[in-house]
Amino acid sequence: MTNTAFIGLDYIVDITHPDGKIAHAARQVAEHDVIGAANRALRFARSRNWLTILVKVGFAQGYADQPRHSPLFGRAHETGAIELGTPGTAFHPGLDQQLADLVIVKPRVSAFYGTGLDAALRARGVQRLVVAGVSSAWAVQGTVRDAHDRDYEVLVLEDGCAAANEALHRTSMELLGAIARVIRIDGLAELD
């Protein structure tokens, strides 16, 4: 049996909830029940004794670590988005966050950048990652590409992901299919 971890990315209010400050994907999250899919994945992972990890993006209060030159993150301070310790960086209220063994805070797009994620995975002997999150086009792509280059076997849980629109989501899944296996929740039961 391959040692596996489930990683859920950026299921936070600012990104996934209609009240979020940069919630471009909130409509897709709701329409496709992405939070429900994440909860099913967390429960399944727990039933298999996989390591369960939730990752959230955020900057220190006062934005001292914000890259102001970044087209993606540079204006976060102007809107008060993704500032740690605020309601926006809380997990979506529908997410069963208590099912996570570990919560990791990341300062950039990839869950590996500037975090202890790789060390935690290696400490547990994890070889395979099942990744889901929002946005398909940013956090999911960034993390999956990084995981691939670190020699993990990677699966993308397509129904646990969303982007700002369906076209971006589909394109992301197509691109990731070259370096990861794209599956749906019902495919989890087929993993050894």
Dump pLDDT digits (tens) for 32-64. 999 999 999 999 999 999 999 999 999 999 999
CATH (residue range 4-190)? 3.40.50.850
Domain ranges of the chain: 4-190
For residue 13, with 0-12 CB atoms within 10 Å meaning exposed, 13-18 middle and 19 or more buried, which class applies? buried
Q: Which of 141, 156, 83 is closest to 111 using CA atoms?
A: 141
The structure's pTM equals 0.97
pLDDT in tens, 53-100: 999 999 999 999 999 999 999 999 999 999 999 999 999 999 999 999
Q: Average pLDDT of 132-161?
A: 98
Q: Is the pLDDT of residue 1 over 70?
A: no
